[in-house]
Structure 1
Amino acid sequence: MNKKVFRVLIKYCLLKGKNTVEAKNLLDAEFPDTAPGKSTTKDWYVKFRRGEINAEHGERSGRPKEIITDENVKIVKIDKMILNNRKLKLNEIADILEISTERVHHIIHEYLGMRKLCAKWAPRELTV
């Protein structure tokens, strides 16, 4: 069962006058493996009482995953930036492109197939 169904059931319990403990017991009896936890049930009860949320999913903030385009990945931006300067860090690339470091990490590892941006290099001492 998905979250929307549980939200509807919890809202139904609230409208029927049940408290959070009764609602949690009802959900556990009917859906023992997938019922939301006690704190989740309480949080949804509080939000329903305030009128903050409905049973539908709300809009989420954050950047969309559509930021990964061919232009950003290979042609112009990240690929050339890395090849020009292997000492760049994920944070620097993210700041330049104004995307999250998580997306930069995903692009570098999944799309470009790179395991590391740069390796620390130190000359070895010769042992005789």
Structure 2
Amino acid sequence: MDQEQFWILILHCFLMGINAIEAKQWVETFYKDSTPSETTIKRWFADFKRGNVEFTGSFTYLAKPY
């Protein structure tokens, strides 16, 4: 799965009211070896809370290379 697809899954979790830790655990249930780091997910959540829900196509702060 690529980063955009993970970003969309995490955005979905955010919109459902799931917190960042629960979102990480949920995604890891299905994509154990390729999930973004907890730090990345928390940053995405912070972006979502600021109203940034547009995918820009670049992730300058990825904590886990793929």
TM range (shorter): 0.7 to 0.9
- In the aligned structure 1, how far is the partner of 2:9 from the partner of 2:55? 9
Superposition misfits of 4+ residues, deviation over 4 angstroms: none
1:57 maps to 2:24? no
Deviation at 1:32, TM superposition (A): 0.2
The 5-angstrom pairing of residues 1-128 of structure 1 reads: 1-57=1-57
Deviation at 1:53, TM superposition (A): 4.4
Segments of 5+ residues of structure 2 without an aligned counterpart are 61-66
Segments of 5+ residues of structure 1 without an aligned counterpart are 61-128
- In the aligned structure 2, how far is the partner of 1:9 from the partner of 1:16? 11
- In the aligned structure 2, how far is the partner of 1:7 from the partner of 1:55? 8
Aligned-partner SS, 1:13 = helix
- How many aligned residue pairs are there? 59
Residue-by-residue CA offset, 1:25-78 (whole Å, 9 max, x unaligned): 0011110010000000000000011123423415x9xxxxxxxxxxxxxxxxxx
> Bigger radius of gyration, 1 or 2?
1
Of structures 1 and 2, the one with the larger relative CO (CA 8 A, separation 6+) is 2
- In the aligned structure 2, how far is the partner of 1:5 from the partner of 1:28? 14
Amino acid at match of 1:18: I
Structure-2-length-normalised TM-score: 0.80
- In the aligned structure 2, how far is the partner of 1:20 from the partner of 1:38? 8
Residue-by-residue CA offset, 1:8-30 (whole Å, 9 max, x unaligned): 00000000000011100001111
Structure-1-length-normalised TM-score: 0.43
